[in-house]
Structure 1
């Protein structure tokens, strides 16, 4: 079977319920198709059902086998640009100027605890694959200067081969009036976290327990991302031991629309991670006028600038103090919201389009 396309890419995590890496590759390929005019084909495992001729399913149904073998034999037969968008590729890959690797972060090299079995397997797989493939690529894209520096520190790479194209979000200044004012927002703290220890989600529970009683009595925490039942039980036990069970709501999977509503109505968003490659919730908070409290570590100062209220992620008292200041110093909080609207413009969809076009014209346009 022949495919009249100029780009093929792994579309595994770019369909159905996708965030993060899936959105990034969809946006990236969208620019190549809609703004540059290239023809693209998304590659999927056998059994993946998508009602579109823009995708092709083939090979193994198990992802690791599919990436390592099915993708390898498929791409050997084509001359198109091949994009590997999820940190890894087949280890049998031969060095070629047509291949593009997107690395979002190197967090999987950390020995994070509390990962689900699926996350543990994924981390081991990436730790094995990435060192064996990274020097086979002439084109590497990452999402922040922080992540680029991590790549250069860990691997023997030419810095000119690593390009930074940050994540993006749809934002128009006219949308600001659709966001509730700070005083109109609900008395809850929003957090999107996860099971791995680097997400540091547990610290929010301990920090909340240290808040003054008059705040704990009227505020709640809405937490998204704790999906593993064993880990969720641990979190509920911590909340029970701290006597804050009634104040903590663990939300199941939320659609994009539901998450947007949560941002719009939250009194603040707390992002206590020790490490992130970019931190998409930063720009989501800014877009919806939700005050951002985050760690003063990893990529956060680069992405959030002076629009966030920072804390020490290793210190629960520091997190608690940031919460109290956000509530009690409304003037400063509203000032941060306004700075957030300015900061998010750097990561607008229009900026993303220009970044991708510039990268393509520099590296591939004849």
Structure 2
């Protein structure tokens, strides 16, 4: 058995407080489950001042270091390498592609997707000018290639992403492991508290039922604009249906609000909720008539799994990794075809036997994604990468 390792984890994106999105949830759950299963190695977590108090330390083998540097900045390239190398680690894990170019410590990197490489410039694809967008993409490509070429090992979250990395970045399949994100199929304890019940009831009181639900950051690859147009047609036969879109407010969401007005979706038939707590999201998942994920590109896709866990059927895009993750527990549509999306949504609204059949398959799908398994596989990768 090897000597205990000193492992660093870049936890600046940890949790929802700092806006780290999917990678933030990933590193949060990875840390919490490594704390449960690893009783040998030492860990140092690099975090921001803002999320420092959110990260528990279960014993003396776990420490935290404030590295108050935002991602994708010049300081990330200058301050982070010094902070990491100072700790004299055996290995550091970057949970996103943004590995500082000058870091000397051996590292493992998780690459969730290649969305930035796949997204061509257009006025709707970005809030930036074409020149700024292309410069940003060049920086992304350089950082990504550095991460891939210099990592001791690469982790990714789907076979779809693995194949993309191999073919687009000329990487050996032996250097990449697929470790599916975990998914806790138990209902959170907080969902039973009075506070949760009150918050859930409050958000539900703002919504007319039945409603169709989606959670996303509104970025163009999420394809919410096509969902809006599809919903406008659906209202012809289902005029009492509401579309509920959860996610943080941003410039892309402002564009969607304007688009909804332009295509004359009534104000009382669409709700942009803004950021919601987990317990509020649980209430919305549980009471939705259906969940729809129209994305053209995804890294993994936790929200439709949340819907299945809460007994809500899913209509999903037949694109990217989505069919790989959801398997036979969803009904699929072409994300570029409004008629295809409309048909899938209408079938779930009207066909009770279809809903029952899909949900009967959901438990087996959800059981494939366990954070304990993800943490165990990741720990083995750490140990192999140092030996």
Checking the alignment, whether the CA contact within 8 Å between 2:244 and 2:272 is kept in structure 1 is yes
Residue 168 of structure 1 corresponds to 182
Distance 1:59 1:172, change over 3 A: closer
Change (3 A) 1:361 1:44: closer
Equivalent in the alignment of 2:229: 206
- Give 2:13's aligned residue: 13
Map residues 349-364 of structure 1 onto 2, 5 A cutoff. 349-360=371-382, 362-364=384-386
Q: 1:145-185: per-residue Cα shift (whole Å, max 9, x none)? A: 1111110011122211101111112114999xx9xxxxxx9
- Give the secondary structure class of the aligned counterpart of 2:345: helix
Distance 2:216 2:25 in 1: 18
Partner residue of 1:80?
90
Report the counterpart of residue 231 of structure 1 in structure 2.
Answer: 252
Please state if 1:115 is matched with 2:126: yes
Task: Provide the TM-score with structure 1 as the length reference.
Answer: 0.86
Find the counterpart in structure 1 of residue 52 from structure 2: 50
SS in 2 for 1:43: strand
Equivalent in the alignment of 2:75: 66
Task: Quickly say closer, same or farther: Cα 1:49–1:260, change in 2 above 3 A.
Answer: closer
TM-score (norm 2): 0.81
Aligned to 2:100: 90
The answer to whether the Cα contact below 8 Å between 1:190 and 1:270 also exists between their aligned partners in 2 is yes
Partner of residue 99, structure 1: 107
Distance 1:286 1:11, change over 3 A: same
Instruction: Tell me how many residue pairs correspond in the alignment.
Output: 349
- Residues 93, 136 of structure 1: 8 Å contact kept: no
Preserved contact between residue 33 and residue 372 of structure 2 (Cα < 8 Å): no
Contact 1:84–1:102 at 8 Å: present in 2 too? yes
Q: Once the two structures are superposed, what CA deviation does each residue of 1:47-85 show, in whole Å capped at 9, x if it has no partner?
A: 546247732124756762332111212333313311111
When structure 1 is superposed on structure 2, of 320-329 and 240-249 the one drifting more is 240-249
**Two-structure CA RMSD over aligned residues (Å):** 2.9
**Conserved? CA contact 1:191–1:223, under 8 Å:** yes
In 1, the alpha carbon distance for the partners of 2:70 and 2:300 equals: 30
What does the per-residue CA deviation read over 1:311-350, in whole Å, with 9 as the maximum and x for residues that have no partner? 0000111111111111111101111012112211101234
Decide whether aligned partners of structure 1 residues 21 and 204 sit closer, same or farther in structure 2, where only a CA change above 3 A counts.
same
Paired residues of 2:158 and 2:179 also in contact (CA < 8 A): yes
Specify whether residues 283 and 350 from structure 1 end up closer, same or farther in structure 2 by C-alpha distance, changes over 3 A only: same
1: CA distance between counterparts of 2:74 and 2:171?
Answer: 28
**Contact 2:290–2:315 (CA<8 Å) still a contact in 1?**
yes
**Structure 2: gaps (5+ residues):** 58-62, 193-207
**Kept in 1: contact 2:108–2:151 (CA 8 A):** yes
- Contact kept in structure 1, 2:226 and 2:338, CA below 8 Å: yes
